[in-house]
Structure 1
Amino acid sequence: MLKIRPSRLCGYFALTSLLVIFLIAVGYNTELLQDTRLLPSVTAAVILCGVTITWRDIRWRAKRESRTASALIITFIARGIIGWLGKRQRNRLEADTLDVRRVQEETLLKRLHKTANTDYGRQYDFKSIKDCETFRQHHPITVYENYRDLVEQVAAGESRLLIAEKPHLLVMTSGISGKCCMLPRMKDTNTDLFLQGVAVCLDTIKRSFPASEVLQRTTGFYYDSNSGCSETGIPIRSNISILASSCSTLLHHLLSIYTTPAPALQVRNKRDALYLHLLFALRDSALGALESDFASEIFDAFSSLQERWQELVEDVELGRVSPQLDLEHGTRKTLEGLLRPDPERAAHLRAEFEKGFLGIAPRLWPRLSLILAVDSGSDQIHGELLRQHYCEGVPFYSPVYAAAEGLIGVNVCPEKEPRQYLLCPRSMFCEFVPEASLEEEQPPTLTMEQVQQGQCYELVVTNASGLFRYRIGDVLRITAFHNQCPVVEFQYRRGQMLNVRGERISEAMFLGSLKRAVSQWPGAELLDYCCVESSILGQASGGSDPHYQVFLELRGVRNLTEEQRYKLDHCLQEHSAVYKSFRFKGSIGPMRVQLVGRGAFLELRSSLSSLPPATFKMQRVLRSKECADFLLRRTIS
């Protein structure tokens, strides 16, 4: 009779349970498991992962890293399953890039077929459309105002109006270009995010960062984005984590992969939630990765760590949660039940903090092998700061290019800078408005196979959530082609232009001028910035002519001379002939440059992210007088 030791039986039970979880979490509403022929190969892959685990290895690692054996088994099997899935999805993406026109047309017709019997689909006769050209001829280019009333009716419970089924979520955008927008998100969108985005990125990590393929845990700097429900019970969320939104069911069962326990993820106050993320991360000396949506979130984490490290070390030493945190009694009791006094770890942490914060991340966590966060676009500054200061020597991976509208591209070449993303032709139907036509209401568009390398275009999408030929406002540059599929680099948001006289200064142009100016200020290091047009500030702008008001947070200086302040204006004139012309004629007044106190931008992000929507993405051009006044009150020079 075959005998199985209880420990081994426990491992196989965990394996089987995880397989069931995987099938439930990923299999619903997807093409992945509709073909039952895949089931034997999935099962075989999982079992093969399981039998390669030796109980001796599990016990050794569990003892060394203070983790349960079952948690390690689940982590190992989860990585095996997702590794198999990632390889399969990467191969499918490669095949799709060989025939982009066909794949894009299939994607479009699938979207149109699903909404053909809605009121909107009947209005544009989607049933009669059989190809991309007919669709482009019969349907106009749209913006959010074309959908605002329809989305509000969907949120109120109207069925088959814009989309064929009840939305999975209602997503509130960050309002980076002005007003917040509420967009429906379908299960298909989450499925695409996970299968075409997350899975492919995990395969890229496996190929490019093999050191991350061990059973270490990750700290994910994610926050509760629950903003309630619509009147008909549809959950409303902020533009939440790509990973969390696409596979939240799976993550719920795989919390052993992350250092932060489940109760801490329900804390709504961002400052307290961030403290808890840091506390549980510091306890784990074998931490393998740091992860967040944006590099700015990880930068904020290290800024907070630098401010509160003594309090955190004391909590590690005593095995408690700081009494300064405003937590519900039950949450505090549960979290403290997970902690044990660790004076040895606390002593090591204290010694490293006292040496300073340059390269602090690899000193706190010697086995840290990867930082996973978007560090392109408006997060470029924070990515550079992390690489040069707190996280010196640790590899970075900026995984996906996505928006509230859905997945757009994946980064399959992590080593390239600036960050570049391969468009996902099966996620959304994409069109491209040439940069010269951005101001037109109904501009001409090109398709994926028609764009040209080196040119810039605004992205127009048709997605799974009821948006058709929709201008999302992102301007991209085509940097290369992977087979037939464009590889893009984000340039700027059309709504983030500085424009007081028609000069139209993009975020990329202004940032280039700012970095050049700061390099000429002895000892200065740029930590954060934003701009506001003088018309937003009104009388508080301090000048009669239209001008730019610039708020800077710097390290290394506490004041700037007038000559240094003018240097920024001069650098922008060198970058923009139009701006220089307006300055010469006096149509635009001198730029006003003001320094804010250390931590002002962190405080702004924290205060705004504590309100719905819960995830606030920093705007580089402020459209809110309240935000501008907030920074004015924190001006020190």
Structure 2
Amino acid sequence: MDGEKLEYKGEEALKELERLTSNAGEIQEEILKRILEQNRDTEYLNKYIDDWSAKIVSKFKKNVPVITYKEIRPYIVRIANGEGSSLITGHPITEFSGTSEGEPKLMPSIAEDHDRRTFLYNLITPLINQYVMGLDEGKAMYLYFVKAESSTPCGLPVRTVLTSYYRSRHFQHRPHDIFNDFTSPNATILCYDSNQSMYCQLLAGILHRRKVIRLGAVFASALLRAISFLERHWRDFCLDIRAGKLGAAIDDPECRYAMSDVLDRPYPDLADEIEQICCETTSWKGIICRLWPNAKFIEAVVTGSMSQYVPALRYYSDEKVPLICTMYASSECYLGVNLRPLCDHSEVCFTLLPNMGYFEFIAIPTGENGMFSVEEEKDEIKLVELVNVKLGCYYELVVTTFSGLNRYRIGDVLQVTGFEKKAPSFRFICRRNVVLSIDNDKTSEEDLHRSITVATKKLLEPRHTFLLEYTSYADTSSVPGHYVIYWEINGTPHPDAQLLKECCIAVEEGLDYVYRRCRTNDKSVGPLEIRIVKKGTFEKLMDLFIAQAGASINQYKTPRCVKSQAALNLLNANVTASYFSPRDPAWTA
């Protein structure tokens, strides 16, 4: 990382963290200078800075505009087609990271980005170790997965940022000290078959059940998928453990070879234990504690859309094991850490580390009721520097990175919750304009509206049936979760069942790339459901919201996603029929 030390451990890591937070303003200015010096010969920056002899920081702040992906995309396309990285960055672009929103946005990545990610990961264990004792006494059962990869026309890899990290030397050749002793062999993490990967990783965790002192996954949703997988396959696990070898269903050669070191002989007593635990009751309440009795905490992202999974996780852990959310990261940039990891999930906040990139913020106004609005700006955008944000205020995050993003709007809405020395801490509020999310999918109101409009024009209107109103919600009551769309349509009787199933799949195929990947390849999102409601239901919904908010009819707009339990109760009480997508939507890697 430009000569900076990476391998901070223990007390040394905490001292470095104190230095970063104590000098956040100065470090931010130095980071910006380094980014500009590294990228001074790029075509993009030279559009806005015509003289690099002096005051380049002030010129950057005055002249370089705030952008979205739309503005940087032409440069990305040119690089993807074979032009040089110097269009946007002074270091060679080694790969692109695909984002988790919309059609795949390609975020440029350079080799030293892995250094910064490793730096942040190395802070996590020392932070947790301040609050949880005995982390050196056992193993970590972390369920990590890779996604399908592709390449640009010129051959640069396109991967998710986590797939990239797991494939890197930083992860593959990490020091196997007491804090990196994972139950999952690397080969099982790198297996592209998600079912075989899940099977092997869970089996390895069960084989080490008495040694597991911490467990987790990147997202809370992945842990619930693991519990659901375990419910379906625990008998197979018992057979393999009793036999001392993997069954024929696992045919990935690298997985089989790696697991032969873990499942090295029959363990009949362990098979008996697992069988007794899994079949002794019809309720799986507290199953995590029963299978891994020495677990001290569960680590996963439980903020934003992932907070919907907290009740289920607490049910399966019997509320005895703390849920820890440690870090804040995106495809564009790794950002910060949770300095108080044992806090309640509703109080999780992240301190942005000033050496990760250069951070600025767009202030989001709040009304008299204290609620914020994310309407598009009508006036010139004014940016606030990291150390100048105000307590309690809402902001949209803007990043400048070494890899060539300059004043790029990530789209995350944050609220300032406090300060650690000079570095502010933020609560993640939401992703701008996202209304539905189950796993990695992030569906905007615009995407949802477009897909429904196309489906109804193609399938309903030719049959003289019209959509009067609609709303939606993300149903996570089962695993995997799925989108539910409530439709009020004109005419009786309703269109036949086959037509409405066709509407389901048409809506899905109109949604974005990431949603279709989650449905088809990852199987982390279930089939979309359309629920037909009685005529007049949306008038009742309007009455409910107006009564709750004290607003007028003139102010009311039907919400395109509902989360209020009262609203969901009203909608569900008026459902007359329900239809699911009959197949997976079309998807290609």
- TM-score greater than 0.5 by the shorter chain: yes
Match of 2:156 in 1: 234
Amino acid at match of 2:124: C
State how 1:412-423 maps to structure 2 within 5 Å.
412-417=339-344, 418=346, 419-423=348-352
State how 1:555-570 maps to structure 2 within 5 Å.
none
Match of 2:362 in 1: 433
Name the stretch that deviates more: 138-147 or 408-417: 408-417
Name the stretch that deviates more: 404-413 or 120-129: 120-129
- Report how far residue 133 of structure 1 moved: 4.0
The two structures have a TM-score, normalised by structure 1, of 0.69
Conservation of the 8 A alpha-carbon contact between 1:289 and 1:370: yes
Structure 2 CA distance for partners of 1:391 and 1:111, relative to 1, 3 Å: farther
Structure 1 unaligned runs (5+)? 1-27, 34-81, 499-506, 512-527, 613-637
- Report how far residue 360 of structure 1 moved: 1.0
Conservation of the 8 A alpha-carbon contact between 2:48 and 2:60: no
Conservation of the 8 A alpha-carbon contact between 1:193 and 1:242: no
1:314-366 residue CA offsets vs partner (Å, 9 max, x unmatched): 222222223334x2456546644652211100111111112341111121112
The answer on 1:293 being equivalent to 2:218 is yes
Of 331, 344, 357, the match for 2:269: 344
Structure 2 unaligned runs (5+)? 366-373, 480-528
- Report how far residue 573 of structure 1 moved: 5.2
Percent of pairs with identical residues: 23
> What SS does the corresponding residue of 1:31 show, helix, strand or coil?
coil
Conservation of the 8 A alpha-carbon contact between 2:28 and 2:358: yes
Amino acid at match of 1:537: I
Match of 1:306 in 2: 231
Of 161, 169, 172, the match for 2:98: 172
- Report how far residue 155 of structure 1 moved: 2.6
Match of 2:410 in 1: 472
> What SS does the corresponding residue of 2:339 show, helix, strand or coil?
coil
Name the stretch that deviates more: 478-487 or 430-439: 430-439
RMSD: 4.0
Structure 2 CA distance for partners of 1:186 and 1:378, relative to 1, 3 Å: same
> What SS does the corresponding residue of 2:212 show, helix, strand or coil?
coil
Amino acid at match of 1:227: E
The answer on 1:32 being equivalent to 2:8 is no
Of 285, 306, 329, the match for 1:402: 329
Match of 1:59 in 2: none
The answer on 1:201 being equivalent to 2:124 is yes
- Report how far residue 153 of structure 1 moved: 2.1
Amino acid at match of 2:125: L
Of 170, 192, 201, the match for 1:277: 201
Match of 1:393 in 2: 320
Match of 1:244 in 2: 166
- Report how far residue 271 of structure 1 moved: 1.9
Conservation of the 8 A alpha-carbon contact between 2:434 and 2:442: no
The two structures have a TM-score, normalised by structure 2, of 0.74
Match of 1:547 in 2: 470
1:403-451 residue CA offsets vs partner (Å, 9 max, x unmatched): 0111111101112332100111121111111113751274111112221
User: 2:122 and 2:429 mapped to 1: Cα distance?
Assistant: 26
User: 1:141 and 1:106 mapped to 2: Cα distance?
Assistant: 20
User: 2:276 and 2:376 mapped to 1: Cα distance?
Assistant: 57
> What SS does the corresponding residue of 2:134 show, helix, strand or coil?
helix
User: 2:356 and 2:558 mapped to 1: Cα distance?
Assistant: 48
Structure 2 CA distance for partners of 1:587 and 1:105, relative to 1, 3 Å: closer
> What SS does the corresponding residue of 2:387 show, helix, strand or coil?
coil
The answer on 1:384 being equivalent to 2:357 is no
Match of 2:452 in 1: 537
Match of 1:16 in 2: none
- Report how far residue 459 of structure 1 moved: 0.5
> What SS does the corresponding residue of 1:97 show, helix, strand or coil?
helix
> What SS does the corresponding residue of 1:358 show, helix, strand or coil?
coil
Structure 2 CA distance for partners of 1:568 and 1:200, relative to 1, 3 Å: farther
Amino acid at match of 1:380: S
The answer on 1:225 being equivalent to 2:115 is no
Structure 2 CA distance for partners of 1:329 and 1:475, relative to 1, 3 Å: closer
Name the stretch that deviates more: 362-371 or 402-411: 362-371
Match of 1:633 in 2: none
User: 2:547 and 2:23 mapped to 1: Cα distance?
Assistant: 43
Alignment size in residue pairs = 496
1:92-150 residue CA offsets vs partner (Å, 9 max, x unmatched): 23223233322211111110110001222322227246364432211111111111121
User: 1:368 and 1:587 mapped to 2: Cα distance?
Assistant: 40
- Between Structure 1 and Structure 2, the one with more helix by share is 1
Name the stretch that deviates more: 295-304 or 540-549: 540-549
Match of 1:519 in 2: none
- Report how far residue 402 of structure 1 moved: 0.6
Amino acid at match of 1:486: P
- Report how far residue 250 of structure 1 moved: 5.0
User: 2:577 and 2:227 mapped to 1: Cα distance?
Assistant: 19
> What SS does the corresponding residue of 2:241 show, helix, strand or coil?
helix
- Report how far residue 303 of structure 1 moved: 1.5
Match of 1:109 in 2: 33
Name the stretch that deviates more: 159-168 or 572-581: 572-581
Match of 2:522 in 1: none
1:156-195 residue CA offsets vs partner (Å, 9 max, x unmatched): 33222111121232111112xx222001112232212221
Conservation of the 8 A alpha-carbon contact between 2:24 and 2:354: yes
Amino acid at match of 2:33: L
Amino acid at match of 1:305: L
User: 2:301 and 2:323 mapped to 1: Cα distance?
Assistant: 9
State how 1:473-622 maps to structure 2 within 5 Å.
473-497=411-435, 533=448, 535-538=450-453, 539=456, 544-554=467-477, 583=556, 612=589
Name the stretch that deviates more: 478-487 or 249-258: 249-258
User: 1:190 and 1:586 mapped to 2: Cα distance?
Assistant: 41
Conservation of the 8 A alpha-carbon contact between 2:288 and 2:316: no
Name the stretch that deviates more: 120-129 or 94-103: 120-129
Match of 1:136 in 2: 61
Conservation of the 8 A alpha-carbon contact between 1:535 and 1:546: no
> What SS does the corresponding residue of 1:458 show, helix, strand or coil?
strand
Match of 2:9 in 1: 85
1:63-111 residue CA offsets vs partner (Å, 9 max, x unmatched): xxxxxxxxxxxxxxxxxxx6x5253333223223233322211111110
- Between Structure 1 and Structure 2, the one with more strand by share is 2
Amino acid at match of 1:342: Y
Match of 1:363 in 2: 290
User: 1:406 and 1:458 mapped to 2: Cα distance?
Assistant: 15
Match of 1:525 in 2: none
Structure 2 CA distance for partners of 1:588 and 1:211, relative to 1, 3 Å: closer
Name the stretch that deviates more: 358-367 or 121-130: 121-130
Match of 1:96 in 2: 20
Amino acid at match of 1:183: M
Conservation of the 8 A alpha-carbon contact between 1:534 and 1:547: no
User: 1:240 and 1:189 mapped to 2: Cα distance?
Assistant: 12
User: 2:41 and 2:435 mapped to 1: Cα distance?
Assistant: 39
Conservation of the 8 A alpha-carbon contact between 1:173 and 1:180: yes
Amino acid at match of 2:362: V
Match of 1:3 in 2: none
Structure 2 CA distance for partners of 1:579 and 1:588, relative to 1, 3 Å: farther
User: 1:374 and 1:553 mapped to 2: Cα distance?
Assistant: 16
Conservation of the 8 A alpha-carbon contact between 1:222 and 1:241: no
Conservation of the 8 A alpha-carbon contact between 1:553 and 1:596: no
Structure 2 CA distance for partners of 1:448 and 1:438, relative to 1, 3 Å: farther
Amino acid at match of 2:377: E
Conservation of the 8 A alpha-carbon contact between 1:168 and 1:187: yes
User: 2:585 and 2:432 mapped to 1: Cα distance?
Assistant: 23
- Report how far residue 257 of structure 1 moved: 1.6
